[in-house]
Structures are given as structure tokens and as C-alpha cells.
Chains A and B, each alone.
Chain A
Amino acid sequence: MAKYIFKRVLLAIVTIFIVCMITFFTMNAIPGGPFAGEKAKSPEVQAALEKRFNLDKPVGQQFVIYMGNMLRGDFGISAKTGREISQTISSKFAVSAKLGIFAVLTAVVVGVVLGSIAALMRNRVPDRVIIFLSTLFTSLPSFVLGSFLLVIFSVKLGWVKAWSPTEQNLVLPVLALAAYPASYITRLTKTSMLDVLGQDYVRTARAKGVASWKVLFVHTLRNALIPVVTYLGPMIASVLTGSLVVEQIFTIGGLGAEFVQSITNRDYPMIMGVTIFLAVFMVTMNLLTDIVYKLIDPRITLD
């Protein structure tokens, strides 16, 4: 077990390092560099800027400096606004995290409940309706779904107020974000639930006369949820990347919207900082998922 965790942590560290490397060196490959902007600068200013941001040093050394700064939580400053990137990230990430947590919770609750219903009522009307809906919702990109939700419920019907900094109504953005993972979890829960329901220990429990709710919650659901746990890592990644577009649509000023903005602005230090931050976050989440998965199911031997 300890060996497994050690191996996984090592892999995660290597992955993060590679992400940093790819990010740094690809960004460096862009001709012109970050200060070849619109306005022409005098050679002295140019040289001073390059000295300030260590651009006069060889690339390898720049990388070491950048990594060192990053470990201390310093991502440099934005090329457009001049603000500290780490500050932007920490203030904007709070908004995205709130949205993300709600979306993840919604997806898990809705997915598990609907998936269980579908499995218990196999081949009956509710099952077919649920599976049809889940197939439908996996076929629409989140930005299309988000736009439709916004137009229908906020603009045309006026049921839900759109998001504004004063009135933070997260219903629609959470729905837009949670639709895809919820559908996925629904299918996952259904399949694993059907699998567990066919197991001998479930039949034994029934034959012993255990109350049916107890069979459902203690014997079946607990075991059926193990595959769902494995999806948590990828789901967090997909919710995070999904929030890039959903935040843009609902004009929520989170990290996702900031990232998209920096791409349109070609604000390279910002793109680098946010990419590395999100990547570290996702890799860590994946690592935690894998360890939790291993802890709750002793049958699994991953190597």
C-alpha cells in the first residue's frame, strides 16, 4: 500500500514537472517574446525589461528561475494588466471553486439517484427515460447547453435571474456544468448496480430476510459506488475545463473566464501561470482519487 502511494505520488510529481516543462518551453518558442508588443520601446527600456524578467539569461537558466519562483508561489506578472498572477489566480479561483463544488455535488447526487432508479427498474419506462435523457445530455457541448439554458430560463421565461456580482445565482451555470458528468455517472451507476445486484451476497442477504432497504443501501449501493469514485478525478478535470466556457457564457468572473481572456489577449505569462495551476490541481485530484479508490476497495490491486 505504502509502495503504491509512493509510486503514484512520484508519477504525479513527474507529470507536474513535465507539464511545467512543456508549458515553459512551448511558450518560449513563440517568436517575439512577451515584450514585443504594440508599442515600440527604446532599446534601454527593452533591455531593462529583459533584465527584470531574466530574459537576457539562457533558456535553461530561465526555466530554473521560473520553477524556483513558482515553488514559492510566484507566477510573475501579467503582461497586459501588470498585476501579480498569483493574486489573480487566488482571488478568481474562489469563484470557480464554488461553482465547481456545486456542480460536482449536483452531478454525483443526481447521477447516483437516477442511475440506481434505472438499475432497479431495469427495462421499464423510468429506466428508458433516464437512459434516453442521459444519452441526450452527453451529446451537447456545455457551451451550447449553457446558452440554451440562459436564453430559455433567464431571458425568455424569466424564471431564473442571470448571474451578477451582487446576486450570485448559480443555478443555471451549475446545471450547464453538471449535465455531462451527471449523465455519465448515471450510466456508470446503472451498470455497476446491475452487476452488484447479480452477486451472490446480495441474493444471500435477501434469502436471509434482510430488509430490502438495507440490502439496497448496505449491500448494493456501497459496492456499486466504487466505480463512481474512479470517475471523480476525471470529472473534476472536466468540470474545471467546462467552467472555462460556462463562466464566459454566464459572465461569471472566475478563473476560467480569466484564462479564456488571457488566451484572446495573448497574455503569455498569464496563460502559463493558469495552465500550470490548473494542471497541478487536476493531477493532485487524480492522485487523491486513485488513493481513495485503492483504500475503499481492497480487492483492487493496481500496479
Chain B
Amino acid sequence: MDKTYDVDQMPKKNPLSLQIDLSKFEKATDEEKKQADVMSESTSFFKDGMRKLRKNPLAMFSIIVLVLIILMITIVPVVVPYSYSDIITVNGKRDKSATNMAPFKYSKMEQQYIDEGGKVFPHIMGTDELGRDYFVRVAYGTRISLLVGVFASVIVLIIGVLYGSIAGYFGGKVDLIMMRIVDIIYSLPDLLMIILLSVVLNEVLKFDGHGILARLGTNMISLFIVFGLLYWVGMARLVRGQILTIKKNEYVLAAQVSGAKSSRIIRRHILPNCISVIIISAALQIPSAIFTESFLSFISLGVKAPMPSLGSLASAARSGITTYTYKLIFPALMIGLITLAFNLLGDGLRDAFDPKLRR
């Protein structure tokens, strides 16, 4: 139709005509038109999951906690004028009395300096046994622990996904052999192997370079190596299982029939369908890596001093625990918060994104 009908321009009708008098009707507004719409707005898998996630108070809470922690570890070292390895000095002089101070206390020298009109940044969490500011050390320790957790889970993610998808996709003999290897690695007692390899690599790799890895020490490198060697098997099994189920779908068959290469089918059709499960289990890998690191720190196989990690701080705090309990409380609190947040977030992500749980 090429012309629009305006009510006022319609010709007058015979009063007895049964034709509808358009002037008696009102045009529907856009809003009213929308109400008649029976279809809800189309939403993607990701959007729907995010909506569910946003409704989950525990998951949102843990996201906020994690964001706050990340803000803390980026801002604190910039704002606080102490470094993690420096013993406190007042006016250029080393302050020997500033050891093991309670939170927000000043040493005698500092007090004197303040009385003379100088400014001393408060020790929010006190100082440690060598007179280093504990707040900065905890912030750095959190940074290292998180770094270890994220890095380890990235290693696990890459190796596990590659291995699992190859085994799951090709199936048959390839799968059989690859999964036997996984079975054997899976049944190795992982913590014992970590301890063993840490001890050995410590002696073999004498690392004297610069950069973050050298400062973390050989123990951390061996931790990463061990994660790369042993911890990926859980992920590989998960990915393989996922792929075996997805592979049976018709759209994979369709892609195969139309001549798509294996790598393309894995990338385009299979991985996107199991990515949510993979991401969730990678997120849950982070607290487990942090736990492992703190365990190793406890048995003196952790990060190299003076670099702190939450585990090494907590383990060092045990020596004076009855008098200086706060020195254990702060790192323990951070470990607990991080683990709790990642676990709750992982649960929330699973509820929101796991296709099996969606209704």
C-alpha cells in the first residue's frame, strides 16, 4: 500500500453504514504495542547466564570481594611508603625497636619523630619480627598467591584442554592410549610428587637471573612445572567427557559431512559448547593452587625470601603465635577470603552456566 489513511481525511460515510468509523479509535502507542508482544526479547546463552549470575547474591558478593582484593593489592604498594623487604627506617636511621609491633602502634623512634613534627605512615597491620611493615607484606603476599593461583590454573587449562580435546575427538586407539597415560598420572600421589620435584628442582635449577621468576625462586618454578606435569589430568578427563557427549550431536555430523577439518570442528563446534564447564573448573583450580602453594611454604618449599606469599607469612607467623596472634590472622583471613570467594563464584557460575543444571 502506498498511501496512509488519515482519520480526518476519510470521506464521511452514510450514518447507517456499518463501516467502522475510524475517528472513534485511538492509535496504539509504542508502549501498548509492546504489551501485546508475546515473544520475550531473544537472549544469548551468555546474557542469560549473566542475568542468573547477577541474581545470585553469594556470587555477586564474591565478585565484589575479589575486586576489592585486586584493588587492594594494586593500590597498597603504591600508596604505602614502605616496601615488602625494607626494614623500617626513621629519618634515614634504621629503627631497631620497630619489630613485632601491634597494629597502629609506633616505635619509640617514630614517636619521637612524630613529636618533633615529622610524619610517619601508620603500620595498619603492625610490623613483623624483622621490623618490616606487615600491611605491605600481606598485600604483596596476596599478590604472589593470586599470581601463583592464576598462572597455575592457566597452565592446567591449556594443557588439559588440548590433551582432552584431542583424546575425546579422535577416540578409538588414540583415546585409549592417551587415557591410560592420564589414568597413571592421575593415580600418582600429587602432593608427594610436588614435594619431591620441588626438592630436586631446587638443587638442579639454580636460578640466578632477574625478573619476576627469579625473585619468586626455584620453588615456584618447580611448582609450575609440577602443575604442568601432573595437575592437568583432571581437566583433560573433564574435557574429554564433555567432547564425547557433544560429538554425538547432529551438527557435528553435519559439519563433518560438509567437509570441515577436525581442527575447525573442535574450535567452532565443540569447544564453544563445553567452554562454560571448562571455565568453571579452571576458576575452582585457583584456590586449590593457592592451597598447594601455602602448603609448600609451610614445609619450607615455598617462595624465596624476602618475597612473601600468604602461605609463607602464615607459616612464619606460627613462631610467635601466642603473643602475636594477629600476624597469623591477617594472612589466614586473606587465604580464607580468596578461597571462599573463588569457591562461591565457581558455584554461582556453575548454577548460571552449566547446561546440565539449566532448566
| Residues in A lying within 8 Å of B, measured CB to CB | 11-12, 14-15, 18-19, 22-23, 26-27, 29-32, 135-136, 138-141, 143-144, 147-148, 150-151, 155-156, 237, 241, 244-245, 248-249, 260, 263-264, 266, 271, 275, 278-279, 282-283, 286
Cβ contact within 8 Å between A241 and B291: no
A266 to B337 Cα, complex, angstroms: 34
Chain B residue nearest to A277 (CB atoms) is B192
A245 to B189 Cα, complex, angstroms: 17
Given contacts A141-B295, A151-B325, contact A29 B335 (CB under 8 A): no
Chain B residue nearest to A27 (CB atoms) is B200
| Neighbouring B residues of A282 by C-beta, 8 Å | 189, 192
A12 to B299 Cα, complex, angstroms: 28
A54 to B184 Cα, complex, angstroms: 30
A31 to B203 Cα, complex, angstroms: 7
| Neighbouring A residues of B204 by C-beta, 8 Å | 29-31
> Among the listed A14, A27, A156, A248, which residue makes an inter-chain contact with B184, where contact means beta carbons less than 8 Å apart?
A14
B195, CB-defined interface residue at 8 Å = yes
Task: Tell me how many residue pairs across A and B have CB atoms closer than 8 Å.
Answer: 120
| Neighbouring A residues of B200 by C-beta, 8 Å | 26-27, 29-30
| Residues in B lying within 8 Å of A, measured CB to CB | 183-184, 187-189, 191-193, 195-197, 199-200, 203-204, 287, 291, 294-295, 298-301, 311, 314-315, 317-318, 321-322, 325, 328, 332, 335-337, 339-340, 343-344
| Neighbouring A residues of B184 by C-beta, 8 Å | 11, 14-15, 18
A19 to B197 Cα, complex, angstroms: 12
| Neighbouring A residues of B335 by C-beta, 8 Å | 139-141, 144
| Neighbouring B residues of A141 by C-beta, 8 Å | 291, 294-295, 298, 311, 314, 335
Cβ contact within 8 Å between A147 and B300: no
A237 to B287 Cα, complex, angstroms: 19
Cβ contact within 8 Å between A135 and B344: yes
Cβ contact within 8 Å between B318 and A147: yes
| Neighbouring B residues of A279 by C-beta, 8 Å | 188-189, 192
| Neighbouring A residues of B192 by C-beta, 8 Å | 19, 241, 275, 278-279, 282
> Among the listed A12, A241, A271, which residue makes an inter-chain contact with B191, where contact means beta carbons less than 8 Å apart?
A241
Chain A residue nearest to B317 (CB atoms) is A147
| Neighbouring A residues of B287 by C-beta, 8 Å | 139
A282 to B291 Cα, complex, angstroms: 20
| Neighbouring A residues of B328 by C-beta, 8 Å | 144, 147-148, 151
A106 to B299 Cα, complex, angstroms: 26
- The secondary structure that dominates the A interface is helix
A228 to B251 Cα, complex, angstroms: 38
Chain B: minimal CB distance from A28 (Å): 9
A266 to B204 Cα, complex, angstroms: 13
Chain B residue nearest to A272 (CB atoms) is B196
29 A/B residue pairs, CB under 8 Å, sorted by A: A14-B184, A18-B184, A19-B189, A23-B196, A26-B200, A27-B196, A30-B200, A31-B203, A135-B340, A135-B344, A136-B336, A139-B335, A141-B298, A141-B314, A143-B294, A144-B336, A147-B328, A151-B325, A151-B328, A155-B322, A241-B189, A241-B191, A248-B298, A263-B300, A264-B299, A275-B192, A278-B192, A279-B188, A282-B189
Cβ contact within 8 Å between A275 and B196: yes
Cβ contact within 8 Å between A151 and B183: no
Chain B residue nearest to A152 (CB atoms) is B325
Chain B: minimal CB distance from A273 (Å): 12
A150 to B318 Cα, complex, angstroms: 11
Cβ contact within 8 Å between B193 and A15: no
A248 to B298 Cα, complex, angstroms: 10
In addition to A139-B336, A241-B189, A271-B196, 11 A-B residue pairs with Cβ atoms within 8 Å of each other are A27-B200, A143-B298, A144-B335, A147-B317, A241-B191, A248-B298, A263-B195, A263-B199, A264-B300, A279-B189, A283-B189
Given contacts A14-B184, A279-B192, A283-B189, contact A147 B299 (CB under 8 A): no
Given contacts A140-B335, A144-B332, contact A275 B183 (CB under 8 A): no
